[in-house]
Structure 1
Amino acid sequence: MILATIETIPEREIVAILGIVTGNVVQSKHIGRDIMASLKGIVGGELKGYTEMFNEARAQAMARLEAEASALGADAVIGVRFTTSAIMDGSCELLAFGTAVKLR
């Protein structure tokens, strides 16, 4: 499966648009990470616990997007984008979306 942020795949022809596909994850805070983030906020620097959590959420969202595209019989997903939103206090959603296509 080709996953791309661009709108075309070089040297390949799009023969069918199968539709929009998505993958999302809703992630909540972890008390241990919050404590470490609060301490790090005092001295500054990267919040590695949150970086790791976000990387895991992104990988899971991409896997879900790819699974949805595969179920449609897609060869690729083009125009892949990410967005985040707050769901409630202490949690957020990471959404990956794009267009599933068949290629020649």
Structure 2
Amino acid sequence: MIIVTTDFVTGKEIKEVKGFVRGSTVQSKNVGRDIMASLKTIVGGEIKEYTAMLEEARQKAIGRMVEDAKEKGANAIICMRLETSAVMTNASEIIAYGTAVYVE
């Protein structure tokens, strides 16, 4: 699956637009990560536990978007975007979305 943030795939011609595709996940923090994050806020620096958690969530969301595109018969996704939002205290949604297309 080709995934690009542009509205075209360089060197390819869009033969058919399959439509909007998306994938999402809601990720919550856990006690172990919170303890480490609390300690890190005292001394400063990257909170690697949250970085890893969000990277995993992004990959899940992208994977679900790709599955949606495959089900529609696409071989590429153009205009791909990632967004995040808080859905409740200590939980965030990551959503990946774009336009599924068939390119040659």
- TM-score (normalizing by structure 1): 0.97
Trace 1:1-104 onto structure 2 (pairs within 5 A): 1-104=1-104
Partner Cα separation in structure 1 for residue 30 and residue 5 of structure 2? 31
**2:7 partner SS:** coil
Structure 1 residue 89, shift from structure 2 partner: 0.6
- Displacement of 1:16 in angstroms is 1.2
C-alpha displacement at 1:15, in angstroms?
A: 1.4
* TM superposition shift of 1:74: 0.1
TM-score under structure 2 normalisation?
0.97
Runs of 5+ consecutive residues of structure 2 not aligned to the other structure: none
Aligned AA (1:100): A
Task: List runs of 5+ in structure 1 lacking aligned partners.
Answer: none
Q: In structure 1, what residue type is equivalent to 2:38?
A: S
Letter in 1 for 2:18: L
Identity %: 49
Aligned CA RMSD, in angstroms, stands at 0.6
> How many residues in Structure 1 have an aligned counterpart in Structure 2?
104
Deviation at 1:22, TM superposition (A): 0.3
